[in-house]
Structure 1
Amino acid sequence: MQHLINDIDEVDFDVTRGGQVEIIGWLYQYYNTEPHDYAVNITGGAVTKNEIPAATQLFTTDWVVRYMVDNSLGKYWLERHPNSDLKSNLDYLLPGEIQTVDSSENLEDMRLIDNAMGSGHILVYAFDVFMKMYAEQGYSSRDAALSIVQNNLYGLEIDKRAYQLAYFALMMKARQYNRRALQPEKVKLNVHVFEDTDTVSPEFLDALSGEYADDIKQIIELFSNARELGSIIKFDKTFNWTKLRENVEDMHTDALDIFGMNQSKKIVLKVLTIGEIMSTKYDVAVTNPPYLNKFDPDMKKYVKKNYADYSGDLFSVFIFNNINLVKIGGYAAYMTPFVWMFIKTYEKLRSYLVANKEISSLIQMEYSAFEEATVPINTFVLKNVPNGSNGTYIKLSAFKGGMNVQRDKVLEAIANPDIDYLYRTNQANFKKIPGSPIAYWVSNQLLHDFLVGIPLKNISPAQRGLTTGNNNLFIHDWWEVLFNHVDVSRSWRKNQTSKKKWFPYNKGGKNHKWFGNRELIVNYYNSGQEIAEFGKINKNSFGFQGKDYYFHSGITWSALTSASNTFRYSPQGSIFDSNKGPMLFSNDDSTIFSLLGFLNSKVTTLITKVLNPTLSLQNGDMDKLPIKKEIFDQNIEHVVRINVLLAQSDWNEYENSWDFKVHPLLLHIADDNLSIWYYSVVLTNLGAKNVPIFRLWGVK
């Protein structure tokens, strides 16, 4: 409270200057910080129904709200009123063509919804934009304010506290222009909080009768878990909401009400109001939806049943839902994690949007710009029409420094559309790339390469390997065991056996190109006998994928990447990990070395950032790489072989290599000056390949 009083400028509380809604929202998020951190950091467990509000409530930065509303509601109005002065008041309207639309729609009939409204920030800014529209149409500010909150703005929320803040914020906006706004009989807002119907009494259900009784019971059943499902509740039929409401209102209840009929009636009437709002078509939908994929069993079952193709996360369900919640020609705006643009989990969502809707504009933010979300973010606007024009895209990934820096760069791009991080492209191009990533910055030349190149999976498909079920038990650094128990010369030939227990293991690792990261060993005694026995007893997940490729030479890489990819040659004798150390194989060494040269090139880094710009390079991304015959060249192969030999020599100069002989700095020191330790331990310890032997407790 001391910081609230002393650190925030008094002008930020001035309703005539804006900013007060942001303060409400940030305060609400601040008081949710502890439960939020608890909910999102649950290890391996689902977020429960009561934890969802804390886990998913993230206040939307002001400039993002303005971008979303300006480019949805604002653009919708400008399309229907090309001579409007509103454009001069839309600071975040991105450059792009505005197509004129003939429309006789009355302003009072335009509807905007935020169906995950939180503390109401989006609705409050939309109120301001609507006020400018009403002013253009000659309305007084008093009449406009009441019309906006009663006719134009709609909001839904699962968290009662957030709903109360949103209600309060909108009432204050209306009160700013009309003193009578606080009189209950004067104003009825269209913002609501979801309520479960599991408290509706059996007696109430039994008392339902008439033509619409079954429909009412169906609605009550659909809303039995409404505080968890919220706006993703799906209606399988069209209801006559007016008739349903009349049926409930006409139900007789006695004065004693010993069966709670009045309370049940009140709940059902609220639910019918919310149901009608959810089934109405809107001109614009704008929201920062919940980000959640750790579903409890009830939520998981419901999402899989009703949104199977979009079930990777709640935000992807909202993306699909909201673009279909708006009318043909309407807009849906979002702020979400940007993973939907690239990774395989959301491929069906991308394909659906690219084929059926239009990406009007999109801003991809720098990876860690929005600290509150702990995930990379984008904000974008879809139009409910088939693709017909170029979209506007802004790529901010090069600009670090937080959301204020991102805002400034957006404003620079609006002021100067020729800036090099603003792109105009047609989304039809995305279908030319496997998986349809939203790669708006790709050049025509690279698009052509995808069309003519051979997918890597047709030459050398990426292979998953071993899953031990307990890496701490079965995987170690090679120096943790007696080295004569490690088989470093195992051939890839089938049916070859080894009496040794430990074998080299590829599992990603540090940024080493060409060769290296050969430090790990795995207990694969008797073809993984101990792994299988332990997994069955302890019910751990284990598996021996790609077994035919164990001990084969090939290419391995680090699945977790940073600035560039790191591919390495792996000589025969190693097993490889299922997730963190996948491999490519070929029966032809020339193919392996030629591919290795291509994979370690800047071209591949560029392409993989198109296929998946996150920090995780997956097998599916590798399979899509376009390979051109020009890479299979003897000169390229020769250079790559030299690079591998040089990298191998460099790796072996340090003690973490089991082929280490002597540190390079000691090569030119006279023998009589070498240390006693070097003579007594290193040179005599032939069994451990010239490094000291030691043994850890419990490791044999």
Structure 2
Amino acid sequence: METAKLKKFAQQARRLLLEQVGARLGLVLEAGSAARRENPSTVTELEKQIQQSSRAQVIDKVAYIWFNRFCALRFIDVNGYTRIRVVSPAQEDQIQPEILAEAKMGHLDAERIPENTRQQIAALLHHGTPSRDPDQEAYRLLLVAECNSFHRAMPYLFERIADYTELLMPDDLLSANAILAATRNAMTPDACQDVEVIGWLYQFYISEKKDQVFEGLKKNQKITPENIPAATQLFTPHWIVRYLVDNSLGRLWMLNHPDSPLVGKMEYYIKPEARETDFLKVNKPEDIKVCDPACGSGHMLTYAFDLLYAIYEEVGTDPSEIPEKILTHNLYGIEIDERAGELAAFALTMKARARQRRFFNKAIKPHICVLEKIPFNDEELDEYRAAIGRERFTPDMRSTLRQFAEADNFGSLIQPKLANAGTVLALLEEQDFSGELFLKETHNKVLKALHQAATLSPIYHVVIANPPYMGGKGMNARLGAWAKENYPNSKSDLFAMFMERGLELLPKYGYSAMVTMQSWMFLSSYESLRKRILRDTAIECMAHMANMVMGIAFGTAATVCKKGGSPEARGAYCYVEYEDIGSNNKPIAFPPRNERNRKAARQNEAI
């Protein structure tokens, strides 16, 4: 995918939206503004939000919400997932969005646009309501109605708009210089062939903030929890995603079904040299659970979706049922960045919609768990224990609930003390505290924390990830101290801690497939980690990559390990040099035919 144009657009769009949302905010907050007269409670809520955070944070939040929605709607338009295009014209060489053109002809979808809104739009477009810019006002109403209509299918991305988000919508949406025109120019039909375009746009949208964070590091400013996502987001080249998924999820299926035609769909699959007998037994596709504990915008999971789809097809599942089965049974993502988590859920929903025309009607939410900071004090926990009984509220449960007080800082590295969090959650969900306000609030917090704990439990067959990279020098004081206490073998960098954590999420013979910095293989500070990996796993395969192969100025390694596999097992290794990567950003041949790999092959033949 050509990303230069996307990067320029995303960075310019962020600046433009911050400016326009800021200008709208100034108008809304004026003493005699129309918003104060017409929506006094909404303006009051806006002022409350500013007091709780800051004016700049509110502007940043709303600017991103609109960027996110415009990009999502454009992707939906281009791929024809709705009957009428919402932010795009009927023909690409036009400017006016199709939904507005249809409204001018009296065509308003009664299922998606409420009756009172249809009346307002008709009055504006047919001069029944005086307006300086009737097209603009009518289109704003149409846009809000469409976003609200998408709420049922994608509530994580399209929250119902009846608040200050609508008040702060940019003024100009229809001109040739508007944000929507820029969105259409960048998100061309070619760019929208793959939903990964949304992930690229998000990475570029926050790239300037990432630069600011790293400038701060030079001045010894530690990375705070709210800045961890910007500092650690790194998009994974698609061929590396395929290498990791093919040799973990794909390998698991091939071991259970040696004659499977799936092998023909996996470009980077490496067949085991010897027949294996120590593997997880899988009776049916629904049994497989795949998790990305640092899922970002979902790039790993979307390819896993494709492979799982082929697996379901192989066993004869009705195609109309496959997308729902995959999102219900197979794929799980964990993330601390709410924005990235929303995009991961959106990406999986788009994969499902591409395969199933009526998927939006099913209102299925993908299993993307955005870890939230959930603090508890002793008083509320004591009262909750008294309400549900001591036998249920065990010491391990109390400890687990406490673990999420800094979930925004520690993320998926949290290892819940409660071994059966999922079972306890199911039991407590039956409790009813509707008549007790204080207990109901605590109960809801407990359920949310236990859901997070259950997601962080060892229930997965395959763990895949491009975990965050952050050395000890960048960690804030709490994260640094916590890392030393909980991950003494890998405390030097987040990526190494995730390597350990990935193994804890698996049962025996489960697969961990991660692309990380190469330093864990060489530096003395990772000696204990290396010993653990060599003792507790079998390295099934590894692609060791030179500087710039992933577009970053250091070496990396894509490694697939089997937990509990024999340390004597013979893995498949290759080295990838920058010169081995072609113009399409993937290896010209795989394994590459560079001198290092040829030499290794000669040595193997001589053994």
Whether TM exceeds 0.5 here: the answer is yes
Task: Identify the residue that residue 192 of structure 1 maps to in structure 2.
Answer: 369
Task: Identify the residue that residue 238 of structure 1 maps to in structure 2.
Answer: 419
**1:404 offset after TM fit, Å?**
5.0
Correspondence for 2:454 among 261, 269, 276: 276
Deviates more, 1:400-409 or 1:375-384: 400-409
Map 1:31-180; keep pairs closer than 5 Å. Answer: 31-41=205-215, 42-43=217-218, 44-94=220-270, 96-97=272-273, 99-101=275-277, 103=281, 105-180=283-358
Correspondence for 2:586 among 399, 407, 418: 407
Q: Quick one: structure 1 residues 93 and 201, their matched pair in 2 at CA, closer, same or farther if it must change by over 3 Å? A: same
The residue type equivalent to 1:159 in the other structure is: D
Q: Quick one: structure 1 residues 266 and 333, their matched pair in 2 at CA, closer, same or farther if it must change by over 3 Å? A: same
**1:180 offset after TM fit, Å?**
4.5
- The 8 Å contact of residues 547 and 553 in structure 2, kept in 1 or not, is answered as no
Which residues of structure 1 form unaligned runs of 5+? 426-439, 448-700
**1:270 offset after TM fit, Å?**
2.2
Is the aligned partner of 1:253 residue 2:427? no
Q: Quick one: structure 1 residues 197 and 176, their matched pair in 2 at CA, closer, same or farther if it must change by over 3 Å? A: same
Q: Quick one: structure 1 residues 351 and 204, their matched pair in 2 at CA, closer, same or farther if it must change by over 3 Å? A: closer
1:395 and 1:341 map into 2 onto residues whose CA distance is 14
Task: Identify the residue that residue 422 of structure 1 maps to in structure 2.
Answer: 597
The residue type equivalent to 2:273 in the other structure is: E
**1:355 offset after TM fit, Å?**
2.5
Percent identity over the alignment?
A: 30
Name the count of aligned residue pairs: 417
User: How far does the alpha carbon of each residue in 1:546-574 deviate from its partner, in whole angstroms, 9 at most, with x for none?
Assistant: xxxxxxxxxxxxxxxxxxxxxxxxxxxxx
Higher relative contact order (CA 8 A, sep 6+): 2
**1:183 offset after TM fit, Å?**
4.1
Q: Quick one: structure 1 residues 108 and 311, their matched pair in 2 at CA, closer, same or farther if it must change by over 3 Å? A: same
**1:85 offset after TM fit, Å?**
0.2
**1:250 offset after TM fit, Å?**
1.1
Correspondence for 2:539 among 335, 341, 359: 359
Q: Which runs of 4+ in 1 moved over 6 A?
A: 440-445
2:429 and 2:560 map into 1 onto residues whose CA distance is 39
The residue type equivalent to 2:203 in the other structure is: Q
Q: Secondary structure in 2 aligned to 1:408?
A: coil
The residue type equivalent to 1:408 in the other structure is: P
1:370 and 1:136 map into 2 onto residues whose CA distance is 33
More strand by share: 1
For normalisation by structure 1, the TM-score amounts to 0.55
Map 1:606-685; keep pairs closer than 5 Å. Answer: none
The residue type equivalent to 2:328 in the other structure is: Q
2:241 and 2:369 map into 1 onto residues whose CA distance is 20
**1:287 offset after TM fit, Å?**
0.4
User: How far does the alpha carbon of each residue in 1:479-518 deviate from its partner, in whole angstroms, 9 at most, with x for none?
Assistant: xxxxxxxxxxxxxxxxxxxxxxxxxxxxxxxxxxxxxxxx
- The 8 Å contact of residues 425 and 451 in structure 2, kept in 1 or not, is answered as no
Task: Identify the residue that residue 381 of structure 1 maps to in structure 2.
Answer: 560
Q: Quick one: structure 1 residues 205 and 226, their matched pair in 2 at CA, closer, same or farther if it must change by over 3 Å? A: farther
**1:97 offset after TM fit, Å?**
2.2
User: How far does the alpha carbon of each residue in 1:217-250 deviate from its partner, in whole angstroms, 9 at most, with x for none?
Assistant: 3222011101111111023452353234423641
Is the aligned partner of 1:342 residue 2:522? yes
**1:406 offset after TM fit, Å?**
6.8
Greater Rg by CA: 1
1:187 and 1:242 map into 2 onto residues whose CA distance is 23
The residue type equivalent to 2:248 in the other structure is: S
The residue type equivalent to 2:557 in the other structure is: N
Correspondence for 1:30 among 193, 198, 204: 204
**1:444 offset after TM fit, Å?**
12
Is the aligned partner of 1:10 residue 2:186? no
2:469 and 2:580 map into 1 onto residues whose CA distance is 23
For normalisation by structure 2, the TM-score amounts to 0.63
Correspondence for 2:403 among 205, 211, 222: 222
Map 1:186-585; keep pairs closer than 5 Å. Answer: 187-198=364-375, 202-203=379-380, 206-209=383-386, 210=389, 211-214=391-394, 215-247=396-428, 249-254=430-435, 257=437, 259=438, 261-293=439-471, 294-371=474-551, 373-384=552-563, 385-397=565-577, 399-400=578-579, 404=583, 407-409=586-588, 411-413=589-591, 420-422=595-597
**1:341 offset after TM fit, Å?**
1.2
Q: Quick one: structure 1 residues 200 and 192, their matched pair in 2 at CA, closer, same or farther if it must change by over 3 Å? A: farther
1:78 and 1:10 map into 2 onto residues whose CA distance is 36
Task: Identify the residue that residue 545 of structure 1 maps to in structure 2.
Answer: none
**1:94 offset after TM fit, Å?**
3.0
1:112 and 1:315 map into 2 onto residues whose CA distance is 19
1:269 and 1:97 map into 2 onto residues whose CA distance is 47
Task: Identify the residue that residue 628 of structure 1 maps to in structure 2.
Answer: none
Task: Identify the residue that residue 62 of structure 2 maps to in structure 1.
Answer: none
1:95 and 1:423 map into 2 onto residues whose CA distance is 19
- The 8 Å contact of residues 156 and 192 in structure 1, kept in 2 or not, is answered as yes
**1:200 offset after TM fit, Å?**
7.3
- The 8 Å contact of residues 79 and 98 in structure 1, kept in 2 or not, is answered as no
- The 8 Å contact of residues 294 and 335 in structure 2, kept in 1 or not, is answered as yes
- The 8 Å contact of residues 285 and 326 in structure 1, kept in 2 or not, is answered as yes
Q: Secondary structure in 2 aligned to 1:311?
A: coil
Q: Quick one: structure 1 residues 335 and 114, their matched pair in 2 at CA, closer, same or farther if it must change by over 3 Å? A: same
**1:324 offset after TM fit, Å?**
3.3
1:84 and 1:386 map into 2 onto residues whose CA distance is 25
The residue type equivalent to 1:350 in the other structure is: R
1:306 and 1:234 map into 2 onto residues whose CA distance is 9
- The 8 Å contact of residues 370 and 403 in structure 1, kept in 2 or not, is answered as no
- The 8 Å contact of residues 237 and 585 in structure 2, kept in 1 or not, is answered as no
